[in-house]
Amino acid sequence: MLETQDLGFVYDDGTVALEGITLAIEEGEKVALVGPNGAGKSTLLHLVAGFRMPFTGRVTVSGVDLVKSNADAVRRNIGLVFQDPDDQIFMPTVEEDVAFGPRNIGSDNVDGRVTHALRCAGIEHLAKRRPHRLSYGMKKRVAIAGTLAMDPKMLLMDEPTSGLDPRARSELIKLLRDMDKTMLIATHDLEAAAEIVGRAIVINVSPIMEGSMRDIVLARGILDKAGLEVPPVSRLFGILDSMGYQIGDMPVSMNQAVEELTKVIESGGRRVHTHVHEHGHARGDRSPKRGHIRAPVKDLSEDE
Ligand code: ADP
């Protein structure tokens, strides 16, 4: 569906934004493009969407090489959702905004496309609202709907979770995880990436590693090299692992951690002991022992 070969880009002021990026994304795949600020993620999305032409290398979309003369046509297969929805939303109502793109290129059945796009973005109820009065999270959804209304084969998303409060963030993560669309998501939010995608590509100007988020977090030195922090939940489980607790698969997000703990509890594993601390420590020594993960949550435990 999308390939890049040895992609490089240098801005006019001499800033080298990308070098040697070769990647491939299959139809139906969701892939994260992971790297710190300044890693070149937005630049890469702009190259792939045909907004800028590469300095070196090439971009191929559905088997067609992207060049200046076909950039408009190729771009129709690729929908870019900007990081800041205010850069993308400008019509007086949500439905007019979502209709703008398809109307502009003379698409048929604009109303049907708009209804479908609003439904996919979970904002049908906001159709008549003024987009600029909506919360930031809902504006992001309007921008996503506006892109979906163009019926692209693939969505490119630039930092979809940035600027969202925790609830809006987790709702957007769920929306993207459940959406049936090929996606390339640029983000430095490793936990969000772990929830949404099966595979991630780590870059910091040049390529660093490719694999599942779990593999990336576990690969020694990779996050450091990429200028990224190990997610707190992975750090915690890493400590437990080094203390000898058997934790199964390393979680990268809180949901994965809960899943992992639930699995161990449900398998009847006596390794995990979740425990209420409401009653204090009056019953003697409760210091953690090898093989017990103690969590200050409700008493779900079956004591040994
Ligand atoms: P990311 O999206 O990973 O934060 P960017 O693609 O925005 O990274 O930026 C990559 C590099 O290119 C950074 O060093 C950034 O400062 C630089 N850069 C981005 N846009 C421009 C521009 N218009 N002119 C010059 N340098 C730029």
Residue-level pLDDT at 268: 64
Q: Using alpha carbons only, give the angle 41, 101, 112 rounded to the nearest 5 degrees.
A: 120
Cβ–ligand 1 contact at 13 (below 6 Å): yes
Residue-level pLDDT at 67: 87
> Best substitution site from 7, 21, 33, 42 to test ligand 1's pocket, by max atoms within 8 Å of Cβ?
42
pLDDT digits 0-9 by tens, 232-270: 999 888 888 888 877 778 899 988 998 888 887 777 654
Contacts of 236 (CB under 8 A, 6+ apart): 257
Q: For ligand 1, atom 13, which residue shows the shortest CA distance?
A: 38
Q: Which two tokens stand for residue 90?
A: 């400008």
CATH, domain range 2-226: 3.40.50.300
94 Cα–ligand 1 center, Å: 31
246 Cα–ligand 1 center, Å: 42
Ranges of the chain whose pLDDT falls below 50: 270-304
Cβ–ligand 1 contact at 206 (below 6 Å): no
Q: Which two tokens stand for residue 67?
A: 């060049």
Ranges of CATH 3.40.50.300 domains, the chain: 2-226
Q: For ligand 1, atom 24, which residue shows the shortest CA distance?
A: 11
Which stretches of the chain are DSSP H helices? 41-48, 71-75, 94-104, 110-120, 136-148, 166-178, 190-196, 213-218, 222-226, 232-242, 254-266
Are the C-beta atoms of residues 271 and 291 closer than 8 Å to each other? yes
Q: For ligand 1, atom 6, which residue shows the shortest CA distance?
A: 40
Residue-level pLDDT at 288: 41
Residue-level pLDDT at 147: 93
